[in-house]
């Protein structure tokens, strides 16, 4: 009833809680007792408290919902990054992966206003770094420099991999394609790939080659050379291109397949001798070095490695989109394009994040066939 004291009193209790019933001789309370003699004051107090509890719970829930709306992914992306970001490199400093990571970190820092710190975590053919990043909180504050070995080769090479490239990581951008050059110490009496093959055949198992761990292109190219040319050499793994190259220059190891950026200075100084590159055509930075495919090994004609930057798989998609856009803008800068070519790398034909995911899947199949052809599938 519109004028009922019971309705008025309950309404007061819904706003004021038990305080509405403190004065039991108040008109509202007397009216309530007269209108509802069977309820009594205590039950009405309990009813008022219950309604107050429900009211407060409703306000908490609606407040949380409103807060959730304001903490939308868009707001998250606008605030990102709010603190320093770490870019993990799975090799020692000085190799192509490290060089391009530092180049991009400097640009990202300038554009986004927060530090981008490069951290080197070498070992186990990139698995130590990849496993660590896969397990970090997916918030965009730990990223990984992922070469083709991490994202494609290891799937077939290892019996059991502690991460899944297609679900534990999401690509941010392809950074560069990375040709490799076969180099030897000048004391080795060979001046061409065919001479090296003949020399190795006459000395089965006596030559050794340096690499940067199982499954990385340095290793895979040598395995492919042995299987296709019918030679045997001993594998000596290192934790990075720079220390491996140092030992080749010193003559401790006679040869290696090396990514071009760390080797280019040694090549120009004549401290190592190039025998061929792993691309179908000549590399602009090493225009006088023939492709290995020209020596009768066509398997090397379409095998450039590549570098990609990735984030943990469940990173918010708006953060992924922001980093993807920033990286594409950076890679399109003329000075960055020029530096990539000067270092002996080649541009990467970028696409959408989804397109990059499809690229990783296709590369896993392609490199898987090479690993099987080299006879090392499941060998690690």
Contact 141, 85 (CB under 8 A): yes
Q: What are phi and psi of 376, to 5 degrees?
A: -120, 15
pLDDT-derived band at 77, boundaries 50, 70, 90: low
Q: Which residue has the higher pLDDT, 67 or 146?
A: 146
Question: Hey, what's the torsion of the CAs at 17, 19, 21, 26, to 10 degrees?
Answer: -130
CA distance 333 to 341: 13
Q: Which residue has the higher pLDDT, 248 or 48?
A: 248
Q: What is the pLDDT of residue 373?
A: 80
Q: What is the pLDDT of residue 34?
A: 36
Q: Which residue has the higher pLDDT, 5 or 95?
A: 95
Distance of CA 357 to the CA centre of its chain: 12
Q: For residue range 179-196, what is the model confidence (pLDDT) as tens digits?
A: 999 999 999 999 999 999
Q: Which residue has the higher pLDDT, 29 or 125?
A: 125
Give the residue-averaged pLDDT of 230-237: 95
Give the residue-averaged pLDDT of 105-114: 97
Give the residue-averaged pLDDT of 84-112: 95
CA distance 178 to 153: 15
pLDDT-derived band at 75, boundaries 50, 70, 90: low
Q: What is the pTM of this model?
A: 0.74
Give the residue-averaged pLDDT of 223-241: 93
Q: Residue 380: is its pLDDT beyond 90?
A: no
Work out the number of other CB atoms within 10 angstroms of the CB of residue 213: 24
Q: What are phi and psi of 143, to 5 degrees?
A: -120, 165
Q: Residue 173: is its pLDDT beyond 90?
A: yes
Q: For residue range 126-171, what is the model confidence (pLDDT) as tens digits?
A: 999 999 999 999 999 999 999 999 999 999 999 999 999 999 999 9
Q: Residue 10: is its pLDDT beyond 50?
A: no
What proportion of the chain, given as a percentage, has pLDDT over 70? 79
Give the residue-averaged pLDDT of 337-341: 93
User: Which of 102-111, 228-237, 292-301, 339-348 is predicted with the least confidence, judged by mean pLDDT?
Assistant: 292-301
């Amino acid at each position: 009833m519109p004028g009922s004291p019971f309705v008025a009193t309950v309404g007061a209790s819904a706003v004021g809680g038990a305080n509405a019933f403190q004065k039991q001789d108040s008109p509202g309370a007397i009216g309530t007792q007269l209108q509802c003699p069977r309820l009594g004051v205590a039950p009405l107090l309990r009813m008022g408290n219950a309604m107050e509890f429900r009211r407060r719970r409703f306000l908490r829930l609606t407040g949380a919902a409103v807060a959730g709306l304001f903490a939308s992914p868009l707001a998250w992306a606008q605030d990102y990054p709010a603190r320093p970001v770490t870019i993990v490199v799975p090799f020692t400093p000085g190799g192509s992966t490290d060089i391009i990571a530092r180049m991009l970190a400097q640009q990202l820092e300038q554009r986004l206003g927060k530090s981008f710190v490069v951290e080197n975590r070498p070992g186990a053919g990139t698995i130590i770094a990849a496993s660590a990043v896969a397990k970090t909180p997916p918030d965009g504050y730990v990223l990984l420099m992922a070469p083709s070995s991490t994202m494609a080769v290891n799937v077939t090479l290892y019996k059991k991999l502690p991460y899944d490239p297609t679900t534990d990581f999401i690509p941010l951008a392809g950074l560069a394609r990375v040709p490799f050059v076969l180099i030897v110490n000048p004391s080795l009496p060979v001046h061409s790939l065919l001479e090296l093959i003949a020399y190795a055949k006459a000395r089965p198992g006596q030559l050794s080659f340096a690499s940067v761990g199982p499954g990385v292109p340095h290793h895979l190219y040598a395995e492919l050379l042995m299987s296709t040319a019918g030679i045997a050499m001993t594998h000596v793994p290192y934790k990075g291109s720079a220390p491996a190259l140092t030992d080749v220059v010193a003559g401790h190891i006679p040869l290696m397949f090396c990514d071009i950026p760390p080797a280019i200075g040694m090549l120009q100084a004549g401290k190592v001798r190039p025998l061929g590159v792993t691309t179908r055509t000549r590399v602009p930075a090493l225009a006088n070095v023939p492709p290995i495919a020209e020596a009768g090994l066509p398997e090397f004609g379409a095998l450039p490695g590549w570098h990609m930057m990735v984030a943990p798989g469940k990173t918010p998609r708006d953060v992924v989109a922001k980093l993807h856009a920033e990286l594409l803008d950076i890679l399109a800068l003329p000075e960055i394009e020029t530096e990539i070519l000067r270092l002996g790398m080649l541009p990467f034909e970028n696409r959408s994040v989804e397109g990059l995911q499809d690229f990783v899947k296709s590369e896993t199949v392609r490199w898987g066939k090479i690993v099987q052809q080299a006879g090392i599938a499941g060998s690690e």
